[in-house]
Amino acid sequence: MIEDKFAAERPPWDLAGAQFVSNAEPYEQIKMRVLNGAQSTLSHQGALLGLVYSYEAAADPMLGALTRRMLERETATTLPKVSGMEAAAYIEMSLARIRNPAIRHRCHQIGTDGSQKIAQRILDPLRERLAAGQGAELLILSAASWMAYVLAGGKRFGARWAPLDPWAETVIAIGNRAGAFLDIARETLTLAPIFGMDLAPRPDVAKAVAQHLEGLLGGDQRAYLTRLLGER
């Protein structure tokens, strides 16, 4: 989708399949929340499960089902309604694209600078769901998966990799000094440049994040995520 605003004559890009629209913003929001949101979720969780490529994470029956459920039940309700971008079809197309083994994006590649990406992809639809009094359990899981991915770079949680993220050092320091997972969740949620000012005061969000951190960092991650899939 290309916004139909040009200083000179419009290029004939439509001949190659491009679509011109008067306002590209809603299309971009849908792409961010569905395609990019799925990429981030699958890559963070895939890395934690030891997968190398995001297509492997998308093809994993459990991870693929969890992500699809998040998109269909939670993200989809926050999407603007625009012609040609029906939620169900776009979710299907996005997951099929990520599953394509010819697109060999590494989980760590997609996970790079996650703190700069999750606001639009995950946190904005999450807070819209909460503001509407709706559940956001799987979007919270996705946000917690980013935290766990970064925390896994710290000595306390195995120093499994060196996450490339401007907030990695801060989050790892929180993980090293905070005691219980609830303490880690509460303090990380106070990082306003990432999470804003509205999520940290919510004990329900902090409690859910803490539960997910413990499941993702304190034991068998696959068993934990499989159990969540069965519960939701």
Summarize the confidence of residues 89-108 as an average pLDDT.
96
Helix (H/G/I), strand (E/B), else coil: 188: helix
Amino acid, res. 98: I
Q: pLDDT (tens digit, 9 = 90+) per residue, 122-178?
A: 999 999 999 999 999 999 999 999 999 999 999 999 999 999 999 999 999 999 999
Residue 2 backbone dihedrals phi, psi, to 5 degrees: -125, 130
CATH architecture label of 19-231: Orthogonal Bundle (1.10)
214 in Cβ contact with 182 (< 8 Å):
no
pLDDT digits (tens, 9 = 90+) for 192-226: 999 999 999 999 999 999 999 999 999 899 999 99
For the chain, the domains span: 19-231
196: region left, alpha or beta (phi > 0 left; psi from -120 to 50 alpha): left
Report the candidate in 134, 166, 168 with the shortest Cα–Cα distance to residue 149. 168
* CA-based nearest residue to 32, from 78, 66, 100, 73: 78
Structure tokens at 163: 């996450």
For residue 195, what is the DSSP state? H
- Cα dihedral angle (68, 225, 217, 166), rounded to 10 degrees? 0
Please list, in sequence order, all residues whose beta carbon lies within 8 angstroms of the beta carbon of residue 135, skipping any fewer than 6 positions away.
Answer: 74, 129
- Cα separation of 182 and 2, whole Å? 44
Q: Which residues contact 204 (CB under 8 A, 6 or more apart)?
A: none
Model pLDDT for residues 35-50, shown as the tens digit of each residue = 999 999 999 999 999 9
> Above 50 in pLDDT, residue 11?
no
Q: What number is the average pLDDT over the span 70-81?
A: 96
Q: How confident is the model at residue 21 (pLDDT cuts 50, 70, 90)?
A: very low
For the entire predicted model, the pTM comes to: 0.89
Q: How far apart are CA 177 and CA 140, in angstroms?
A: 23
> Residues 103, 138: contact at Cβ < 8 Å?
no
Q: What are phi and psi of 16, to 5 degrees?
A: -100, 10
